[in-house]
Chain A
Amino acid sequence: EPEVTQTPSHQVTQMGQEVILRCVPISNHLYFYWYRQILGQKVEFLVSFYNNEISEKSEIFDDQFSVERPDGSNFTLKIRSTKLEDSAMYFCASSQYRGLRETQYFGPGTRLLVL
Chain B
Amino acid sequence: EDQVTQSPEALRLQEGESSSLNCSYTVSGLRGLFWYRQDPGKGPEFLFTLYSAGEEKEKERLKATLTKKESFLHITAPKPEDSATYLCAVRGSNDYKLSFGAGTTVTVRA
User: Do residues B96 and A56 form an inter-chain contact, with CB atoms below 8 A?
Assistant: yes
Chain B 61-74 per-residue mask, 1 if CB under 8 angstroms from chain A, else 0 = 00000000000000
User: Do residues A43 and B96 form an inter-chain contact, with CB atoms below 8 A?
Assistant: no
Give the size of the chain A interface in residues (CB under 8 angstroms): 27
User: Do residues B51 and A58 form an inter-chain contact, with CB atoms below 8 A?
Assistant: no
Asked if B102 is an interface residue, CB under 8 A from chain A, the answer is yes
List 20 additional contacts besides A48-B96, A104-B98; criterion CB under 8 Å: A33-B96, A35-B98, A41-B102, A42-B102, A42-B103, A43-B44, A43-B89, A43-B98, A45-B97, A55-B96, A56-B95, A98-B96, A100-B31, A103-B46, A103-B49, A104-B34, A105-B46, A106-B46, A107-B43, A109-B41
User: Do residues A100 and B32 form an inter-chain contact, with CB atoms below 8 A?
Assistant: yes
Give the size of the chain B interface in residues (CB under 8 angstroms): 24
Total CB contacts across the A-B interface at under 8 A: 55
Asked if B59 is an interface residue, CB under 8 A from chain A, the answer is no
How far does the Cβ of B26 sit from chain A's closest Cβ, in whole Å?
Answer: 15
How far does the Cβ of A49 sit from chain B's closest Cβ, in whole Å?
Answer: 9
Asked if A75 is an interface residue, CB under 8 A from chain B, the answer is no
